[in-house]
């Protein structure tokens, strides 16, 4: 992996003070037991010294990579960091999914020495997941050498606004950033693949799936990029999820690029998958396979994105394959816990496309299926819960699934499941009591799948971690 | 245009009843989960022993000769631009249907385009279908969108309290020929100024509320099914039996609690 040539200078006294105060506030927040203190130090430090983002971005000798998109940011960042680590580069990341400016500064203030410098910075690379709506603001300040774009789905319209404005913000950021970064793009999502039109001569590495066996037999409802920029409707040769697939425009000729990193065959199993990959083209092409310990096609996409980014950064396929096979789940994303003699799997789902993929993972598993479904309506979950009608909960009808609904909006979720033809066996808003009920419904030795929105996931995860004897997440994420 | 007829299990000993439903642009105007309205309609109609025959009409498709219920959902500005002219061309037929007491439910962006006109955030003037005598203007940058939980009280008798979620940049004003669909108790409604929410013309209803609206407002859902049956069967149409909707009622109550906690209360005297 080559070294980026950027000048870095030590932080100013004011910035150093800001970092120290940020660290102190983190220690206080943790003592108070508040949310692991992942964002508070960033808020404190960022308010004192707004230039910290620029200072952070300049330090890693291998430069900065950003990961953005609606779904899969945390897992892809986690996997890319694991590959870099296997390749001898120490990643500097924001591991707990705190992906706004304050989360980045918190990652920084948590890793600096007393002089305000990142130790051994020459051997490090920044790998940061960035909120899709914050990327346009952060890109000129982070000056990434590589930017990964995963997918763009409708998500929390009350918070992010309309899907189009997010895509427009990305395009503008790419046009305006001083040095255009290498782009790692999902060839199968037309709104991502079209970002190549804003590469401004920088290298573009695409990833995608070329396996009809994992295509959907009929299209999802949660499909957001059906129309080309020219106004025509896209035509699909195969749809893998939502509007993601092998697409082309019948009018203007825009077409899915042939992926540089292509999954030729994906064998999906209950607990993971085997992915057969071809990298590069023609005589240069290399093929390899990796065993991914994360279930679902969406996880395979995240792994492909991480592999494509690592390939673009110059890592070799052996390192990539072994690191992917050994990387465990990211926080709250298919984490597993042993509780009361049951195997509990925790799956985050926060928008229709994400929930559809999680439902597909559930239906791959052998019956009996026991599900604790949790819907909260906090700011981080989206206050508007209508999105559950865009997801195809009908997938669980006829599976005989035993469903317990929980969360602040347990009643909305129960209504949705009943309309989908799979009414819940109980509706219990409180997390601990719902978990008790769901565990009691799970046969001993069997599996309970917990599907939860963001803040519900945080709640239930701490309950699961305590019952399983695992540490709190700021300890687990180290 | 696609037809899909679903045989529903009978829950009554009466002869089968049925309604014809047109969904407009459901492949384009589908951003705010208004598909939930169709899901709830099918399920509730089945409970009442009513078959639902849905015809999906999208860009370039002709309208059928007749129908009992028309549904259109919300979309982003881009989607509204895509359909506006096509929809406006159906204006005369839609207005005639409204006058013949066809039931309609137009939500958010669909409601805006069922009005006289819509000036969007870019200043572009989109034609409307003119079903409702309302005009909508998006004030553009610098103005906050109206976003949040809503409680409103329907003007139509028997529908009562409505719970939903609104998310719109445009402000809608009623013309002299329009009546409001509801009055806002919590939230913004048409424009945040006059306390009105939505519009109605005979059995046609326009509203900003999604959530999805029909699943958790069973009284409104029954009202629409009954209106569609009256259109189909004539004035002697037998009223719907009173059937409980326990899941819907609990979700409604939960949404009301949330709105009271989070949204601004509308003061009737202001
Ligand atoms: Zn085109």
Confidence of residue A214 (pLDDT cuts 50, 70, 90): very high
pLDDT of residue A351: 92
Nearest to A411 among B34, B145, B251 (CB): B251
Q: Is the pLDDT of residue B199 over 60?
A: yes
Nearest to A419 among B43, B147, B250 (CB): B43
Cβ of A385 under 8 Å from any chain B Cβ? yes
Interface pTM (ipTM) of the complex?
0.94
Residue A28 or residue A205, greater confidence:
A205
Chain A residues with CB-CB distance to B262 below 8 A? 383
Q: Is the CB of A154 less than 8 angstroms away from the CB of B149?
A: no
The count of other CB atoms within 10 Å of the CB of residue A112 is 22
What B142-145 contacts at long range (C-beta under 8 Å, 24+ apart), as own/partner pairs, is B143/B169, B145/A161, B145/B169
How many angstroms separate the alpha carbon of residue B84 from the centre of ligand 1? 20
Instruction: Identify the weakest region by mean pLDDT among A153-167, B40-54, B189-203.
Output: A153-167
Strands B50-57 and B2-5 turn out to be antiparallel
Compute the average pLDDT of residues A30-45.
59
Of A46, A8, A5, A13, the closest CA to residue A116 belongs to A13
How many angstroms separate the alpha carbon of residue A234 from the centre of ligand 1? 7
How many angstroms separate the alpha carbon of residue A227 from the centre of ligand 1? 8
Query: Measured between alpha carbons, how far is A367 from A381 in angstroms, rounded to an integer?
Result: 30
Quote the percentage of chain B above a pLDDT of 90: 81
Confidence of residue B256 (pLDDT cuts 50, 70, 90): very high
Question: How close does chain B come to A235, measured CA to CA in Å?
Answer: 14
The count of other CB atoms within 10 Å of the CB of residue B207 is 28
pLDDT in tens, A71-127: 999 999 999 999 999 999 999 998 667 888 888 888 777 788 877 788 888 999 999
Q: Is the pLDDT of residue B219 over 70?
A: yes
Compute the average pLDDT of residues B177-195.
96
Q: Is the pLDDT of residue A59 over 90?
A: no
**Most A CBs within 10 Å: which of B246, B251, B253, as the mutation test of the A interface?**
B251
Q: Is the pLDDT of residue A227 over 70?
A: yes
pLDDT of residue A10: 72
Q: Is the pLDDT of residue A185 over 80?
A: yes
Q: Is the pLDDT of residue A307 over 90?
A: yes
pLDDT of residue A57: 82
Q: Is the pLDDT of residue A455 over 60?
A: yes
Instruction: Identify the weakest region by mean pLDDT among A16-25, A189-198, A318-327.
Output: A16-25
Nearest to B216 among A158, A377, A415 (CB): A415
Active-site residue, B146 included: no
Compute the average pLDDT of residues B219-228.
98
pLDDT in tens, A467-478: 998 754 444 433
Q: Is the pLDDT of residue A426 over 60?
A: yes
Confidence of residue B11 (pLDDT cuts 50, 70, 90): very low
Query: Measured between alpha carbons, how far is B101 from B230 in angstroms, rounded to an integer?
Result: 9
Q: Which of residues 153-172 of B touch A (CB under 8 A)?
A: 165, 167
Question: How close does chain A come to B66, measured CA to CA in Å?
Answer: 27
Compute the average pLDDT of residues A371-394.
95
Place of tokens 């399920």: B43
Compute the average pLDDT of residues A206-222.
88
How many angstroms separate the alpha carbon of residue B77 from the centre of ligand 1? 19
Cβ of B27 under 8 Å from any chain A Cβ? yes
Buried-state track A350-372, b at ≥16 Cβ within 10 A, e below 16: bbbbbbbbbbbbbeebeeebbbb
Confidence of residue A156 (pLDDT cuts 50, 70, 90): confident
Instruction: Please give the CATH number for the structural domain made up of B16-236+243-262.
Output: 3.40.50.880
Q: Which of residues 156-185 of A touch B (CB under 8 A)?
A: 157-158, 161-164
Residues B102, B203 contacting (CB under 8 angstroms): yes
Full set of structural domains in chain A with CATH: 13-326 (3.40.1190.10), 335-476 (3.90.190.20)
What is the overall mean pLDDT for chain B? Answer: 92
pLDDT of residue A478: 32
* Catalytic residue, candidates B48, B108, B231, B252: B108
Question: How close does chain A come to B33, measured CA to CA in Å?
Answer: 5
pLDDT of residue A5: 45
What pTM was computed for the model?
0.90
How many angstroms separate the alpha carbon of residue B61 from the centre of ligand 1? 21
The count of other CB atoms within 10 Å of the CB of residue A394 is 15
Query: Measured between alpha carbons, how far is B42 from A195 in angstroms, rounded to an integer?
Result: 40
Quote the percentage of chain A above a pLDDT of 70: 88
Compute the average pLDDT of residues A441-457.
96
pLDDT of residue A470: 77
Torsion of CA B204, B207, B211, B215, to 10 degrees: -20
pLDDT of residue A189: 96
Q: Is the CB of A415 less than 8 angstroms away from the CB of B78?
A: no
How many angstroms separate the alpha carbon of residue A232 from the centre of ligand 1? 5
Q: Which of residues 276-295 of A touch B (CB under 8 A)?
A: none
Active-site residue, B108 included: yes
pLDDT of residue A222: 62
Instruction: Identify the weakest region by mean pLDDT among A45-54, A112-121, B252-261.
Output: A45-54
What end-to-end distance do the CA atoms of chain B give, in Å?
A: 48
pLDDT of residue A145: 97
Q: Is the pLDDT of residue A37 over 60?
A: no
pLDDT of residue A41: 66
**Most A CBs within 10 Å: which of B29, B33, B86, B186, as the mutation test of the A interface?**
B33
Residue B231 or residue B13, greater confidence:
B231
Compute the average pLDDT of residues A249-254.
94
Strands A182-186 and A146-149 turn out to be parallel
Residues B207, B151 contacting (CB under 8 angstroms): no
Q: Is the pLDDT of residue A416 over 60?
A: yes
What end-to-end distance do the CA atoms of chain A give, in Å?
A: 25
Q: Is the CB of A221 less than 8 angstroms away from the CB of B30?
A: yes
Nearest to B210 among A386, A388, A420 (CB): A386
Residues A188, A383 contacting (CB under 8 angstroms): no
pLDDT of residue B170: 95
How many angstroms separate the alpha carbon of residue A254 from the centre of ligand 1? 6
Query: Measured between alpha carbons, how far is A78 from A93 in angstroms, rounded to an integer?
Result: 8
Spell out the domain ranges in chain B.
16-236+243-262
* Catalytic residue, candidates B48, B90, B168, B210: B210
pLDDT of residue A261: 98
Residues B159, B219 contacting (CB under 8 angstroms): yes
């Amino acid at each position: 992996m080559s070294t980026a040539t950027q000048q870095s200078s030590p932080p100013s006294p004011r910035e150093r003070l800001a970092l120290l105060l940020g660290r102190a506030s983190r220690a206080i927040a943790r003592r108070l037991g508040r949310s692991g203190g992942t964002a508070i130090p960033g808020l404190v430090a960022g308010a004192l010294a707004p230039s910290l983002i620029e200072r952070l971005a300049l330090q890693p000798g291998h430069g900065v990579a950003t990961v953005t998109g609606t779904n899969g940011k945390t897992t892809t960042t986690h996997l890319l960091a694991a590959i870099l680590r296997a390749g001898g580069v120490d990643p500097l990341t924001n591991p707990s999914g705190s992906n706004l400016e304050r989360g980045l500064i918190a990652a920084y203030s948590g890793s600096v020495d007393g002089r305000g410098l990142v130790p051994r910075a020459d051997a490090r690379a920044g790998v940061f997941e960035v909120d899709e709506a914050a990327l346009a603001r952060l890109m000129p300040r982070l000056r990434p050498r590589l930017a990964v774009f995963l997918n763009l789905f409708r998500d929390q319209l009350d918070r992010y606004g309309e899907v189009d404005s997010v895509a427009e913000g990305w395009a503008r950021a790419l046009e305006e950033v001083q040095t255009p970064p290498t782009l790692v793009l999902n060839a199968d999502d037309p709104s991502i693949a079209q970002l190549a039109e804003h590469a401004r001569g920088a290298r573009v590495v695409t990833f995608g799936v070329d396996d009809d066996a994992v295509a959907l037999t009929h299209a999802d409802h949660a499909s957001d990029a059906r129309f080309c920029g020219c106004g025509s409707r896209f035509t699909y040769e195969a749809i893998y999820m939502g509007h993601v697939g092998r697409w082309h425009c019948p009018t203007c000729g825009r077409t899915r690029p042939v992926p540089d990193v292509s999954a030729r065959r994906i064998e999906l199993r209950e607990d993971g998958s085997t992915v057969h990959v071809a990298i590069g083209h023609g005589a240069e092409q290399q093929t390899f396979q990796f065993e991914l310990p994360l279930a679902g096609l969406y996880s395979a996409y995240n792994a492909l994105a991480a592999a494509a980014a690592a390939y673009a950064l110059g890592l070799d396929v052996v390192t990539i394959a072994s690191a992917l096979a050994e990387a465990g789940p990211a926080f709250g994303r298919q984490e597993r816990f042993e509780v009361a003699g049951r195997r509990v799997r925790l799956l985050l789902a926060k928008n229709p496309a994400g929930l559809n993929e999680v439902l597909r993972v559930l239906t791959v598993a052998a019956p009996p299926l026991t599900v604790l479904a949790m819907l909260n309506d906090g700011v981080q979950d989206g206050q508007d819960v209508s999105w559950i009608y865009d997801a195809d909960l009908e997938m669980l009808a006829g599976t005989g699934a035993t469903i317990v609904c929980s969360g602040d909006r347990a009643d909305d979720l129960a209504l949705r499941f009943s309309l989908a033809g799979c009414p819940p066996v109980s509706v219990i808003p409180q997390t601990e009591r719902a978990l008790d009920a769901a565990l009691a419904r799970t046969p001993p030795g069997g599996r309970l799948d917990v599907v939860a929105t963001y803040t519900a996931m945080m709640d239930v995860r701490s309950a699961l971690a305590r019952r399983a004897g695992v540490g709190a997440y700021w300890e687990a994420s180290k | 245009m696609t037809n899909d007829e679903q045989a529903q299990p009978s829950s009554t000993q009466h002869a089968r009843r049925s309604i014809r439903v047109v969904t407009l642009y459901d492949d384009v105007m589908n951003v705010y989960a208004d598909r939930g309205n169709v899901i709830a309609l099918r399920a509730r109609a089945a409970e009442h022993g009513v078959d639902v025959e849905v015809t999906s009409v999208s860009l370039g498709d002709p309208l059928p000769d007749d129908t009992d219920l028309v549904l259109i959902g919300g979309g982003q500005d881009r989607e509204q631009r895509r359909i506006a002219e096509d929809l406006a061309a159906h204006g005369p037929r839609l207005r005639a249907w409204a006058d013949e007491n066809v039931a309609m439910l137009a939500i958010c962006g669909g409601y805006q385009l069922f009005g006289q006109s819509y000036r969007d955030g870019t200043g572009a003037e989109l034609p409307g279908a003119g079903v409702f005598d309302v005009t909508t203007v998006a004030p553009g940058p610098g103005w906050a969108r109206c976003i949040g939980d809503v409680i409103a009280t329907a003007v139509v008798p028997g529908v009562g309290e409505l719970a939903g979620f609104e998310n719109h940049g445009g402000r809608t004003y009623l013309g002299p020929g329009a009546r409001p669909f509801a009055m806002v108790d919590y939230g913004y409604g048409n424009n945040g100024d006059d306390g009105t929410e939505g519009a109605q013309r005979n059995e046609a209803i326009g509203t900003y509320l999604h959530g999805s609206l029909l699943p958790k407002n069973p009284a409104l859902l029954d009202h629409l099914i009954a209106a569609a049956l009256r259109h189909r069967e004539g004035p002697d149409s037998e009223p719907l039996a009173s059937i409980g909707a326990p899941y819907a009622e609990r979700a409604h109550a939960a949404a009301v609690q949330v709105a009271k906690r989070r949204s601004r209360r509308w003061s009737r005297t202001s």
